């Protein structure tokens, strides 16, 4: 019975010590959850291999031509994009690759990839938020595919935000 009491007390001390360390790190401004930064980037989404070939003359293998997407800024910087559902939208709908865009992205510490959070078209008359809309169900989606509700077609939607 005594060894069980000691284990319970020992665990309680460990939990209390962990909480004290956590509170101390928060009080000292050591936010361990800040593994990413959020920023806005502008440019055009391209396939990385083609852009690299155009910039450097280095040819990639044929199977890499349409593998990785990147945002190419006006200065020519290439920012590789994480292909989650928002990133995949640029692969599925080539109209998006024709637009000058502003992307709200997350950049994770230790990774060159950017994760797209929001997509805006930058046009002469302002900025437009881009998504896909099902007229039947009145729901929006982040990529071109059949509606998740009714399985019907969705339309590219551009809403002015300025």
Average pLDDT over residues 134-156: 96
* Structure confidence at residue 6 (pLDDT): 46
Helix (H) or strand (E) holding 15: helix 2-27
Residues 28 and 50 grouped into a single domain: no
Residues 21 and 54 grouped into a single domain: no
- Going by C-alpha positions, the residue among 89, 136, 93, 110 that lies closest to residue 37 is 110
What CATH number corresponds to the domain at position 82? Answer: 2.40.50
- The range of the structural domain enclosing residue 5 comes to 1-33
CA distances from 9 to 13, 23, 47, 125 (A): 6, 21, 58, 67
Domain count for the chain: 2
* Structure confidence at residue 17 (pLDDT): 47
* Structure confidence at residue 1 (pLDDT): 45
pLDDT digits (tens, 9 = 90+) for 82-127: 999 999 999 999 999 999 999 999 999 999 999 999 999 999 999 9
pLDDT digits (tens, 9 = 90+) for 20-71: 454 555 555 555 557 999 999 999 999 999 999 999 999 999 999 999 999 9
* Structure confidence at residue 162 (pLDDT): 75
Residues 16 and 87 grouped into a single domain: no
Residues 5 and 53 grouped into a single domain: no
Contact 46, 72 (CB under 8 A): yes
Residues 91 and 124 grouped into a single domain: yes
Residues 26 and 102 grouped into a single domain: no
Residues 44 and 29 grouped into a single domain: no
């Amino acid at each position: 019975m005594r060894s069980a009491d000691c284990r319970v007390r020992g665990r309680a001390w460990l939990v209390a010590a962990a909480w004290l360390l956590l509170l101390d790190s928060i009080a000292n401004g050591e936010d361990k959850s800040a593994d990413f930064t959020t920023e806005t980037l502008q440019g055009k989404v391209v396939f990385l291999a083609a852009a690299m070939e155009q910039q450097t003359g280095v040819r990639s293998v044929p199977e890499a031509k349409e593998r990785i997407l990147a945002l190419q800024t006006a200065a020519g910087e290439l920012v590789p994009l994480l292909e989650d559902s928002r990133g995949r939208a640029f692969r599925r709908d080539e109209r998006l690759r024709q637009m000058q865009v502003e992307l709200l992205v997350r950049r994770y510490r230790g990774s060159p990839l950017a994760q797209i959070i929001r997509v805006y078209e930058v046009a002469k008359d302002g900025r437009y938020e881009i998504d896909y809309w099902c007229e039947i169900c009145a729901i929006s989606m982040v990529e071109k595919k059949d509606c998740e509700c009714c399985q019907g077609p969705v339309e590219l939607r551009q809403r002015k935000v300025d």
